């Protein structure tokens, strides 16, 4: 297998978040992102776990400085193709140890927005959005 390349999307090269318990966080993101068709691409480097569709763009790991992860005020949004995918993201994330931070539904601040919010096991806020 060739060395993974961070894919980015023209704006971001990648997103990296910290995990206090890597195993719990990987299980959460396997479930929640799996509902969006985003795959666990496996381990890399020194305990990193890579996620993406074809190439890695989202990475979780224990913080490199050994301190507890902290992301208060940060939200990472994952694109969904349909409201059903948003619903599946939320349900799978809850079932895998996440906590509700906003039930699936229409969001009045953006026309046509349908979204759901979760906190992962490390306390990171993540969401999924689609526009209908």
Decide which of 38 and 2 is more confident: 38
The pLDDT of residue 7 is 55
Provide the residue ranges of all domains of the chain, joining segments of one domain with +: 13-62+74-129
Q: Give, as one character, the DSSP assignment of residue 96.
A: T
Domain 13-62+74-129 has CATH 3.30.420.40: no
CA distance 97 to 99: 7
Q: Give the model confidence (pLDDT) of 65-108 as tens digits.
A: 888 888 777 899 999 999 999 999 999 999 999 999 999 999 98
Q: Give, as one character, the DSSP assignment of residue 22.
A: H
Tokens read off for 116: 């759901």
Percent of the chain whose pLDDT exceeds 70 = 92
Element (H, E) at 29: helix 22-34
Q: Which of 37, 125, 91 is nearest to 117 (CA)?
A: 125
């Amino acid at each position: 297998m060739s060395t993974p390349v961070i894919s980015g999307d023209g704006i971001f090269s990648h997103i990296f978040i910290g995990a206090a318990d890597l195993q719990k966080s990987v299980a959460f993101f396997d479930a929640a992102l799996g509902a969006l068709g985003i795959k666990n691409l496996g381990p890399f480097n020194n305990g990193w776990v890579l996620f993406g569709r074809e190439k890695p763009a989202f990475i979780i790991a224990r913080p490199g400085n050994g301190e507890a992860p902290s992301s208060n005020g940060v939200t990472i949004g994952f694109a969904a193709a349909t409201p059903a995918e948003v619903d599946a993201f939320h349900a799978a994330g809850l079932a895998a140890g996440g906590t509700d931070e906003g039930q699936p539904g229409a969001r009045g601040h953006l026309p046509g927005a349908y979204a759901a919010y979760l906190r992962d096991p490390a306390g990171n806020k993540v969401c999924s959005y689609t526009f209908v």
